[in-house]
């Protein structure tokens, strides 16, 4: 194995990976700092092959961002607006449900709904949303409400996390998305999202969801003001919660897009392809108890996402259909990929495509060329 790793400082890490041993904080820092991208990628891909062989997952899904009005005003966000500000919107439930139903008729397996913390949308709005979605799109998995939204509504109504999650689940919620994690380090949160819940609270929401049987995703927003050490700490906190609950489906690194944000003048620019591949590969190596690592092609582009399938990634995300948050920050990717396009990208990388639902139940994998 050492012949595939050019950086001599990675020798001990390579031996740990070969033995299936857990990597520690110092290993994570060393991986991020190593100039040997191909060597790190090789090690990550060894882990991927052990877990999944040549199978790469994707989902036929629909994203809906129901409002961009938000009281948090995070400095990294180009999507949010204050109430009354030009460009702010709230989608009517009729419109939201109609979009979901139209996609359901086309065969989606998942509807993914996240939005801002609107000052006047209360619990009744969200419960009605979930109930109407469940009725309009039977059989579709509803993945909605970030930990930030869950906590905001719990605080607004004086409910515990468990109490509000039970209500959401009864109304139709199947799983939580991973948004709002950003970087857990308090130093970073004070700089980029001072009004947002703490990293500890984000973990508490997901821990509560897992205990109730709700699965979720995990994320990290990288490429802004965080250090390498803070990235590794974030990954280890996710790994620790996963050790306790086993409730995370997948980890999704989110590449920061600075255009039109308050941080635009404080960062060098968007992440590079090197940054993105290194982040995905290190995540695969550090998160040994996560089954899946996802490349969010909306943020890094489908071509780089395709290359990442040789850097530890085994999930290509999905069709998406409509995404507003990253595009508000200058993303130049398309807002949708069709099933045939996803199949083409996965096959061209020499992988076997597997269509899944949110919970990684296999829908189909007998695709013919």
For each of the domains in the chain, give its residue range(s) and CATH number, in order of start: 2-364 (3.20.20.70)
Position 2 scores a pLDDT of 55
pLDDT value of residue 81: 81
Task: Say what the pLDDT of residue 262 is.
Answer: 83
Which residues are CB-contacts of 77 (< 8 A; sequence separation ≥ 6)?
A: 70, 193, 261, 325, 329
Average pLDDT of the segment spanning 149-156: 96
The reported pLDDT for the residue numbered 333 is: 39
286-332 pLDDT tens trace: 999 999 999 998 889 999 999 999 999 999 988 766 434 343 433 34
Give the strand order in the sheet containing 352-356.
315-318, 55-59, 352-356, 362-364
Output the pLDDT for position 369. 59
Q: Which residue has the higher pLDDT, 265 or 53?
A: 53
Average pLDDT, the chain: 91
pLDDT at 65: 92
CA angle 247, 248, 251 (to 5 degrees): 170
The residue with tokens 């807002």 is 335
What's the pLDDT score for residue 34? Answer: 96
Identify the band that residue 260 occupies on the pLDDT scale cut at 50, 70 and 90: confident
pLDDT tens per residue across span 80-106: 788 878 889 999 999 999 999 988 888
Question: Please, where are the H alpha helices in the chain?
Answer: 11-19, 25-33, 37-52, 93-105, 123-136, 147-157, 161-171, 186-192, 199-211, 228-245, 273-286, 297-300, 302-307, 325-328, 339-348
pTM for the whole structure? 0.93
Position 323 scores a pLDDT of 39
- The rounded distance, in Å, linking the Cα atoms of 11 and 7 is 8
| Interval 178-235: pLDDT, tens | 999 999 999 999 999 999 999 999 999 999 999 999 999 999 999 999 999 999 999 9
Per-residue pLDDT band at 50 (split at 50, 70, 90): very high
- The larger pLDDT score, comparing residue 22 to residue 264, is at 22
Cα–Cα distance measured from residue 37 to residue 61, given in angstroms and rounded to the nearest whole number: 32
Percent of the chain, pLDDT > 70? 93
* Tally: H helices and E strands in the chain: 15, 11
How far is 192 from 180, CA to CA, in rounded Å? 12
pLDDT for 1 beyond 70 = no
């Amino acid at each position: 194995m050492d012949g595939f790793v050019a950086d001599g400082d990675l020798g001990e890490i390579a031996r740990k990976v070969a033995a299936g041993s857990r990597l520690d904080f110092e290993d994570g820092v060393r991986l991020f700092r190593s100039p040997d991208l191909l060597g790190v990628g090789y090690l990550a891909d060894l882990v991927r092959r052990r877990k999944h062989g040549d199978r790469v997952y994707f989902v036929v899904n629909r994203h809906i961002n129901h409002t961009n009005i938000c009281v948090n005003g995070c400095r990294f966000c180009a999507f949010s607006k204050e109430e009354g500000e030009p460009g702010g919107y709230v989608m009517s439930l009729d419109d939201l449900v109609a979009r979901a139903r139209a996609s359901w008729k086309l065969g989606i397996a998942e509807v993914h709904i996240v939005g801002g913390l609107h000052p006047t949308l209360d619990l009744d709005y969200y419960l009605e949303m979930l109930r109407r979605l469940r009725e309009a799109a039977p059989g579709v998995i509803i993945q909605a409400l970030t930990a930030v939204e869950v906590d905001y509504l719990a605080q607004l109504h004086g409910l515990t996390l468990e109490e509000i999650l039970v209500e959401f689940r009864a109304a139709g919620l199947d799983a939580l998305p991973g948004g709002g994690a950003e970087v857990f380090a308090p130093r970073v949160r004070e700089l980029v999202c001072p009004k947002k819940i703490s990293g500890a609270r984000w973990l508490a929401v997901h821990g509560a969801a897992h205990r109730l049987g709700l699965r979720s995703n995990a994320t990290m927003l990288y490429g802004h003001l965080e250090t390498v050490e803070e990235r590794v700490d974030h990954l280890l906190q996710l790994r620790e919660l996963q050790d306790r609950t086993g409730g995370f489906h997948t980890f999704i690194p989110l590449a920061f897009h600075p255009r039109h944000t308050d941080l635009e003048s404080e960062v060098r620019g968007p992440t590079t392809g090197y940054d993105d591949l290194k982040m995905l590969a290190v995540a695969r190596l550090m998160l040994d108890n996560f089954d899946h690592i996802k490349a969010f092609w909306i943020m890094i582009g489908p071509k780089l996402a395709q290359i990442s399938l040789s850097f530890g990634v085994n999930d290509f995300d999905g069709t998406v259909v409509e995404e507003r948050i990253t595009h508000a920050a200058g993303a130049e990717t398309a807002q949708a990929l069709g099933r045939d396009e996803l199949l083409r990208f996965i096959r061209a990388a020499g992988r076997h495509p597997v269509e899944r639902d949110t919970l990684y139940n296999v829908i189909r994998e007998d695709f013919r060329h």
